[in-house]
Amino acid sequence: AQSVTQPDIHITVSEGASLELRCNYSYGATPYLFWYVQSPGQGLQLLLKYFSGDTLVQGIKGFEAEFKRSQSSFNLRKPSVHWSDAAEYFCAVGPYNTDKLIFGTGTRLQVFP
């Protein structure tokens, strides 16, 4: 069965530091991959998505993610974190030709000044 793992429940970084959030998926073929962000009390906002092509995907708010087939990973990165990036981040996988997404359990990011 398809699944998504976000190994880090909670990450704390200093403002200005680099960030990498991990996401691993289990799926037999190339999946469609998404990263969403959820600010406190808000709904989920799409950061970026990977369908095919270039394995390095650029998103909004300065985020990027890299698809690595050999590692079944789709890690999210940002070179310099801002205090406003404090939120919860969800990775999701969409099995090919389905209408549904499978979400990871999320990583909560805390940013210290």
* Piece of the chain touching another protein by CB under 8 A; list 10-18, 56-64, 68-76, 100-108: 100-108
Q: Where are the alpha helices (DSSP H) in 1-113?
A: none
For another protein, which residue of 42, 55, 58, 80 counts as binding (CB under 8 A)? 42
Beta 107-112 vs 87-94: how paired, if at all? antiparallel
For another protein, which residue of 60, 96, 110, 112 counts as binding (CB under 8 A)? 96
* Piece of the chain touching another protein by CB under 8 A; list 55-63, 65-73, 79-87, 104-112: 104-112
Q: What is the rounded distance in angstroms from the CA atom of residue 62 to the CA atom of residue 24?
A: 21
**Residue 63 CB, nearest approach to another protein (Å):** 16
Contact 85, 109 (CB under 8 A): yes
